[in-house]
A and B are shown apart, each in its own frame.
Chain A
Amino acid sequence: MTQAASTSTPPRARRRWYILVFLAPATLIYTVFAIYPIFESLRLSLYTAQENQPVFVGLANYAKLLGEPYWADQFWNAFKNNIQLFLLHMLIQNPIALALAALLSIPTLKGAATYRTIFFLPTLLSVVVVGFIWQLILSPLWGVTPDAMKALGIGNLFRPWLGLESSALVTVTLISIWQYVGIPLMLFYAALLNVPEETIEAARIDGLNGWWIFWKVKLPLILPTLGLVAILTYIGNFTASFDIIYSLQGGMAGPNFSTDVMGTFLFRSFFGFQAQLGDEYMGATVASALFFIILVGVGCYLFGVQRRLQRYDS
């Protein structure tokens, strides 16, 4: 690249080597350990192993993933759970984050610094730690939750939520929300602080109160952040959700795969579990399917949401 530039400006050829020096380390590490593996995985998804030799099979792995009941059932179950996870985060986590950020950004609020410090704290902790903390708290063995519910007179409503097929996924989601509400909260908070004072003042002179200023003035102005939060939630939900599910429910995403997501499914197809042997080519196929799912989301964001939102921005 530098060389290309150099040839067009021969007198400066020697002097411009520094551009290459500045770019080389980042580009090299990033290409070798991030970009190459992603494309190599896409390539591997077109192969299968026969007598320990890779054999090109075209799209056969994808046909297997979506066609054979053993794979297709797991794939669609994980996909469905991921979508549910995403929707619950969008409907619960992000509105809570927005509400808390709106309250924190009230200029006259006392103790705002302390509040936001505390609200961000769970986000810093390891998912593994958070997972176990909640597992202990919700455990029927320890009895913290059943006792607390008994004190409130609703003791008979207690269930081992993490262990029940019907409630495990929702419980895991709520734990994840408890931990990660800090990220959208901070993004919303930063965006709300950037709303120009004059705009708010003008609305106030027009006779709008705090509540309406938020809905009519501030919210439209921070719509780009809303889009950003949505896409971050989408990506995180399809990849990072592995951590919390694996630490709370294990690689089998129990009970009976009711909390299985693409991350845990990828992990199992790659490394195998119980009698099923791991298959790197099927692992690559699941990862590539995930790649396309994320690509669709990012595409929607970039071409749809982002473009429409920018009009509000200007």
Chain B
Amino acid sequence: MRRIQDRLGSVGIHAILLSWTLLALFPLALIVVNSFKTRKAIFGDPLGLPTGKALSLKGYESVMTNSDFPMFFGNSLIVTCVSLFFILLFGAMAAHAVSEYRFKGNTFISIYLILGIMVPIRLGTVALLNLIVDMGLANTLTALILVYTAQGLPIAIFIFTEFLRSVSREIKDSARIDGLSEYRIFFEVVIPLVRPVIATVAVFSMIPIWNDLWFPLILSPGEETRTVTLGVQQFIGQYTVQWGSVLAALSVAILPVLIMYVIFSRQLIRGITSGAVKG
């Protein structure tokens, strides 16, 4: 009797989880599937698969030829990767300094550096734009990289510091006895040590950068420096009638993220749930 009850419970649980799975995937699948179809098939049979006469790659052709999507991708990739590199390197350096050494002002600087978690950098947009213009960096990818690095550092420093404080000092101290300089200790001992939380920090920093609309729109809206997010936004604004192109543009924006996610999801989710972020 109890086993039957358990089984019913488990069926119920899977029914709930499967419903949300469906809800999460259906909209995405609908867009990707229809992006491969002719205009007639998109409207006539939205739920049909792109087979036979319904198959059409026109949307993709027009996205790839009439727009600068490959360039937008390059821009997003550069901005995200370079910002991420600086966030991880500078964040680990600062976290190492505050967690390893005792010096006057340590508490102050630790709190100062993580204040940004609670106070979004967007609130300084007006002055930030003036600053970027004064520095001659308007409409450059450099502007975005600097702003995203500043935006990502607090959470990175917070996670790295929490982690480094929990690591025993013995390894570092024995390296010191071996006569390694403090710089070599950082690069040869601390960097390998923080590897487990790098995934966590990377995820927390990367998603908001790749998907951001606010700063590209304000700091670098120019054609040459557009990111994918802004590119899609503007492209769709112009081509609302050409459904094939719109659906293809959306798919082009989804697919790389999807592929990356399928490859890295395991590390990614382990990173998020690793307990580095506690209430």
Q: How far, in whole Å, are A242 and B229 apart by their CA atoms in the complex?
A: 14
One of B54-62, B114-122, B166-174 at the interface: B114-122
Proximity string of chain B (124-151) to chain A, C-beta cutoff 8 Å, 1 when within and 0 when not = 1111101100000000000000110111
Query: B109 and A23: CB pair below 8 A?
Result: yes
Query: Which one of B30, B130, B157, B272 has the greatest number of beta carbons of chain A within 10 Å?
Result: B272
Q: How far, in whole Å, are A159 and B16 apart by their CA atoms in the complex?
A: 27
Query: B214 and A242: CB pair below 8 A?
Result: yes
Select which of B14, B103, B122 is within 8 A of A1 by beta carbon. Answer: B103
B91 CB to closest chain A CB (Å) equals 6
Residues from 1 to 19 in B contacting A, C-beta threshold 8 Å: 9-10, 13-14, 16-17
Q: How far, in whole Å, are A108 and B94 apart by their CA atoms in the complex?
A: 42
A118-B25 contact in complex given A4-B104, A137-B30, C-beta closer than 8 Å: yes
CB of A235 within 8 Å of the partner chain: yes
CB of A190 within 8 Å of the partner chain: yes
Q: Other CB < 8 Å A-B pairs besides A1-B105, A100-B20, 10 of them?
A: A1-B104, A26-B91, A30-B150, A37-B131, A38-B119, A117-B261, A121-B28, A125-B254, A126-B211, A191-B278
- Chain B residue nearest to A43 in the complex (CB): B127
Residues of chain A within 8 A (CB-CB) of B236 are 132
- Chain B residue nearest to A290 in the complex (CB): B123
- Chain A residue nearest to B252 in the complex (CB): A129
Query: A38 and B213: CB pair below 8 A?
Result: no
Proximity string of chain A (10-44) to chain B, C-beta cutoff 8 Å, 1 when within and 0 when not = 00000010110111011101101111111111001
CB of B253 within 8 Å of the partner chain: yes
Residues of chain A within 8 A (CB-CB) of B150 are 29-30, 32-34
Select which of A40, A121, A225, A291 is within 8 A of B24 by beta carbon. Answer: A121
CB of A277 within 8 Å of the partner chain: no
Residues of chain B within 8 A (CB-CB) of A29 are 86, 90, 146, 149-150, 153
The 6 closest A-B pairs by CB, nearest first: A37-B124, A224-B279, A40-B127, A33-B150, A22-B97, A26-B94
Q: How far, in whole Å, are A124 and B258 apart by their CA atoms in the complex?
A: 9
Residues of chain B within 8 A (CB-CB) of A190 are 272-275, 277
Query: A116 and B27: CB pair below 8 A?
Result: no
Residues of chain B within 8 A (CB-CB) of A37 are 121, 124-128, 131
8 A-B pairs, CB-CB below 8 angstroms? A33-B128, A37-B124, A120-B265, A127-B211, A128-B213, A186-B272, A194-B278, A226-B279
Residues of chain B within 8 A (CB-CB) of A115 are 17, 21
CB of A246 within 8 Å of the partner chain: yes
Q: How far, in whole Å, are A226 and B123 apart by their CA atoms in the complex?
A: 25
Residues from 169 to 214 in A contacting B, C-beta threshold 8 Å: 178, 186-187, 189-191, 193-194, 210
Secondary structure at the A interface, as helix, strand, loop or mixed, is: helix
Query: B113 and A26: CB pair below 8 A?
Result: yes
Proximity string of chain B (209-250) to chain A, C-beta cutoff 8 Å, 1 when within and 0 when not = 011111001100000000011101100100000010011001
A133-B250 contact in complex given A103-B13, A194-B275, C-beta closer than 8 Å: yes
Q: How far, in whole Å, are A33 and B17 apart by their CA atoms in the complex?
A: 43
Query: A106 and B13: CB pair below 8 A?
Result: yes
CB of B96 within 8 Å of the partner chain: yes
CB of B196 within 8 Å of the partner chain: no
One of A69-77, A83-91, A253-261, A280-288 at the interface: A280-288
A34-B116 contact in complex given A100-B20, A126-B229, A270-B125, C-beta closer than 8 Å: yes
Query: A118 and B126: CB pair below 8 A?
Result: no
Q: How far, in whole Å, are A53 and B38 apart by their CA atoms in the complex?
A: 57
- Chain B residue nearest to A221 in the complex (CB): B279
Query: A270 and B126: CB pair below 8 A?
Result: yes
Residues of chain B within 8 A (CB-CB) of A266 are 125
Q: How far, in whole Å, are A136 and B248 apart by their CA atoms in the complex?
A: 13
A42 CB to closest chain B CB (Å) equals 9
Q: How far, in whole Å, are A266 and B272 apart by their CA atoms in the complex?
A: 32
Select which of A120, A294, A309 is within 8 A of B119 by beta carbon. Answer: A294
Residues of chain A within 8 A (CB-CB) of B14 are 111
CB of A140 within 8 Å of the partner chain: no
Query: A123 and B104: CB pair below 8 A?
Result: no
- Chain B residue nearest to A106 in the complex (CB): B13
Q: How far, in whole Å, are A136 and B27 apart by their CA atoms in the complex?
A: 10
Q: How far, in whole Å, are A246 and B230 apart by their CA atoms in the complex?
A: 11
Query: B207 and A123: CB pair below 8 A?
Result: yes
Query: Which one of A115, A178, A190, A246 has the greatest number of beta carbons of chain B within 10 Å?
Result: A190
CB of B77 within 8 Å of the partner chain: no
CB of B177 within 8 Å of the partner chain: no
Q: How far, in whole Å, are A262 and B130 apart by their CA atoms in the complex?
A: 21
Query: Which one of A25, A125, A231 has the greatest number of beta carbons of chain B within 10 Å?
Result: A125
Q: How far, in whole Å, are A4 and B278 apart by their CA atoms in the complex?
A: 34
Query: B43 and A41: CB pair below 8 A?
Result: no
Proximity string of chain B (92-113) to chain A, C-beta cutoff 8 Å, 1 when within and 0 when not = 0110111001011100010011
Query: B123 and A22: CB pair below 8 A?
Result: no
Query: B13 and A41: CB pair below 8 A?
Result: no
